[in-house]
A and B are shown apart, each in its own frame.
Chain A
């Protein structure tokens, strides 16, 4: 028995529908319940299921055509059945190709005939993306944020993550602040063997006499390496939270005639030793020339102060907010050291790390210094 496929009335407000896509082809076998086509109603795109089994003998309405509900759009029957009678009763008169349907927002301007979420519009504006080139995967073809992903350059903005204080942390804050307001300092000292570092410096002097690597460059690079591994030190105490910075911004103390300035090298974690050296040279030159802008001498997340050239053995630095730690570096001294039971000449440098106890605990500081020491002592790998 042949069966008629009708454009359905799927909602009570539906007057007509569009065959968006035929899912079965003429001559294909269909079973009752199979999806024959996708129909667009006034509300959504819905599946049209077969009510009978057989062969889809005829498709009467091509894709993209709008027809009133009730119109015959196809015939299912046996492959050898005579369906002329059914076909004769079809009323295709109201069929017409689907014009682009006016969007519900009738005031769509020509540039904005695509639906897009407000966030998408803002991002498109900020990144100069032409939405006409973007395919929307949201309801009704809305362009949603996910659709912009291929168009957005993944630029990592430096982030700041706020971590709420745990009760233990709060207690540590309370106890350490009581003994040393406002920033409770503690200090850890370590001695570093600089033989390898000095060799690297010598080699760079030969390779580029006008712009050699300095001890400060090694210190900054080693600190950046160690801070990448021990992110808890690249942080700040912010009252109710600890602020963790994703960008490692190292301030290096520079002595001026009348005082001290701390120019900041930004994003040391992404720089090579060579890049650090170049940046440091430029910054220090400008610092000496009083040519720094405020952004260039504030906001260091970690501080290094090197009094080595004044022959200072060791000293203790003061932490400057927003940093939670400061490294004080002494001079490199030739001293007798014992290696494998023999006395040899060592080139030792004393480092003292001042830490904000609200943010950093002893063990963490010690681990940081271990990593730092290792990095310095293998200076070649920096």
Chain B
């Protein structure tokens, strides 16, 4: 479990951070319950809900059949009636089955009812690719959710952020799509002690710098940090900014960095056309056009369904070298 360092300093994995946070929220508020496939007896497909059935019982940790539309819609109805469901989708690929419920119901019920009803639901699970899970299990769909007014979308990259943000998401009165990553679950990091929240809609400069801005979220944040290390060896100080919340986007923080350096690279794992990076770029162009030293460069996944073969998959997902090359491009150092 999490180890305690010097007073207040704790290390935990992303998975442990979520487990801790969900546990604390469920203890704090009886309205919060967890629902999804294999969350109870199996202890969670990715062990996020380990120990929950024992502590909270089957009333609050609810195993479902493999019917995403049905149980997501049910959870939305439960939220309308006053509970605070946390829906675990085993991966966000499966959430596609529930898109009608998420988009036509969760996102819109407050608006259509003129403010009479609300849907304080969190839909969480891993998005993005893992290893060789192939085309139907490796998608990064945050752009789809970010497109919909009425939804909030969060994608934390670190255990510290995951803990603070899931708490805020659960306490938020709006539907929140909370995108984790299978490959992030075992990553260790410092987390805050006890009950702390990180507000939604606030980005964080993960690594200050002066020469180029790298914007990246979720798994790609780690890739960007790795690229920043490589760039530092060449004497290039990259500033790495993690949006953390994708909708609403903290344009103020992103724009301040872009204005400072004038050179921007946006990294995302998803497909290139109409990906979230295109929106981030457009938002920055509108805000700080006069301070850009050149076009914003995007590093994205390749424009194809995720192939199975290992080498093809590796080539389809951005890595640090690609981000370094993009930084060189934006710095006119090719």
Q: So, do A and B actually touch in the complex, CB under 8 Å?
A: yes
Interface residues of A in 87-132 (CB under 8 A from B): 117-122
Distance of B263 from chain A, by nearest CB (Å): 8
Distance of A313 from chain B, by nearest CB (Å): 37
In the complex, chain B residues whose CB is within 8 Å of the CB of A11: none
Inter-chain CA distance A162–B260, complex, in Å, is 14
In the complex, chain B residues whose CB is within 8 Å of the CB of A361: none
Asked if A146 is at the interface (CB within 8 A of a chain B CB), the reply is yes
B289 contacts A118, C-beta separation under 8 Å? yes
Q: Which B-chain residue is minimally distant from A117 (CB atoms)?
A: B293
Q: Which label, helix, strand, loop or mixed, suits the secondary structure of the B interface?
A: loop
Within the complex, which residue of A142, A162, A164, A167 is in contact with B9, where a contact is CB–CB below 8 Å? A167
A118 contacts B5, C-beta separation under 8 Å? no
We find that the number of chain B residues with CB closer than 8 angstroms to chain A is: 19
Q: Which A-chain residue is minimally distant from B160 (CB atoms)?
A: A167
Within the complex, which residue of B6, B7, B291 is in contact with A122, where a contact is CB–CB below 8 Å? B291
A119 contacts B292, C-beta separation under 8 Å? yes
Asked if A137 is at the interface (CB within 8 A of a chain B CB), the reply is yes
A138 contacts B8, C-beta separation under 8 Å? no
Check A122/B8 contact, CB under 8 A, given A146-B332, A170-B192: no
Asked if A144 is at the interface (CB within 8 A of a chain B CB), the reply is yes
Interface residues of B in 26-61 (CB under 8 A from A): none
Interface residues of A in 153-189 (CB under 8 A from B): 161-162, 164, 166-168, 170-171, 174-175
In the complex, chain B residues whose CB is within 8 Å of the CB of A168: 6, 8-9
Check A137/B332 contact, CB under 8 A, given A167-B9, A167-B192: yes
Check A119/B8 contact, CB under 8 A, given A167-B190, A170-B192: no
A118 contacts B290, C-beta separation under 8 Å? yes
Inter-chain CA distance A119–B205, complex, in Å, is 22
Distance of A246 from chain B, by nearest CB (Å): 13
Asked if A145 is at the interface (CB within 8 A of a chain B CB), the reply is yes
Besides A118-B290, A168-B8, A171-B8, 10 new A-B residue pairs in contact (Cβ under 8 A), listed by A number: A117-B292, A118-B291, A118-B293, A144-B332, A161-B208, A167-B9, A167-B10, A170-B8, A170-B192, A171-B193
A/B interface sample: 17 pairs, CB < 8 A: A117-B293, A118-B293, A119-B291, A119-B292, A139-B332, A144-B293, A144-B294, A161-B208, A164-B205, A166-B9, A167-B5, A167-B6, A167-B8, A167-B9, A167-B192, A171-B8, A171-B193
